[in-house]
Amino acid sequence: MKIIVCVKQVPDTETRIRINPEGNGIVEQDVNWVVSPYDEHAIEEALRIKEQKGGEVVLVSLGPDRAQTALRNGLAMGADSAVHLKDAAFDAADTMGVAKALAAAIKGIGGYDLVLTGQQGVGGDNSQVPGLLAGLLDLPQVTMAIKLETGDGKATVTREIEGATEVWETSLPAVISAQKGLNEPRYASLKGIMAAKKKTIEAKDAAALGIAAADLAPLTQVASLELPPARPAVRMIDGDPETQARELLRLLHEEAKVI
């Protein structure tokens, strides 16, 4: 099977996020960039399918120069090759623009049986790209996969829904997005890391993908970005239970104004 995995580079969840002065993005300096954890599940699943059935795993990522590190990480886990979509024109793209570029790249790679993505990119958490991608590629889609079995030209996918699980069968190729719990991603072994050095990462810009600036014009834009308010200091209420309850009620009414 030939499996394409879309990978996004995101800030490490331990990073202390700072908002930029324009209030529409984050300050990138001192951010530690990692592969989005959901995408690691997608890569792992692709590698497991390849190990069972043979085939090839190709990674695709859209991002600036630094995104190459995310691809190198995936190659070190065991993927065979990677395509890096980078162009200054992509900077302003929203989820639709990203999906268009990814779809064009995936069509360019061709001959694939399955497209795997993470359920969402940690940080932005839009969960839009997998759906847009399926639409643009005109492929069936299953989201929130926690189990995946591939057969002859079809796949059985268990997906997580509120309080239950659903089992779907889909024809292949399809776009399937990984939820946590799909698998336990492997560590990149030192051998894998050294082998990744010799694997190719092909760079493609908008022109190479046949994408015009108009295609990338954002349909949405971030109006503003704010950090959650700092948690105020805890206040202890003294007294016997009755006094405490009265005081709590008063505070909820008068200060917190929630009841």
| Contact between 65 and another protein per CB under 8 A | no
**Residue 17 φ/ψ, nearest 5 degrees:** -75, 135
Q: Which of 189, 200, 220, 243 binds another protein (CB under 8 A)?
A: 189
Nearer to another protein, 27 or 217 (CB): 27
| Contact between 30 and another protein per CB under 8 A | yes
Q: Which of 162, 197, 198, 238 binds another protein (CB under 8 A)?
A: 197
Q: Which of 31, 89, 188, 251 binds another protein (CB under 8 A)?
A: 188
| Contact between 29 and another protein per CB under 8 A | yes
| Contact between 190 and another protein per CB under 8 A | yes
Nearer to another protein, 133 or 196 (CB): 196
Residue partners of 215: CB distance under 8 A and separation at least 6: 97, 100
Q: Which of 69, 81, 127, 156 binds another protein (CB under 8 A)?
A: 69
| Contact between 221 and another protein per CB under 8 A | no
Q: Which amino acid is present at 55?
A: G
Residue whose token pair is 């006094």 = 243
β-bridge mates for residue 145, sequence order: 159, 178
Q: How far apart are CA 154 and CA 169, in angstroms?
A: 7
| Contact between 81 and another protein per CB under 8 A | no
Report yes or no: 9 and 35 within 8 Å, Cβ to Cβ.
yes
The pair of structure tokens assigned to 122 is 């940690």
Size of site (CB under 8 A) for another protein: 17
Report yes or no: 140 and 171 within 8 Å, Cβ to Cβ.
yes
DSSP character string of 162-173: TTEEEEEEEESS
- Contact footprint for another protein (CB under 8 A): 16, 29-30, 69, 72-73, 76, 187-191, 193-194, 196-197, 233
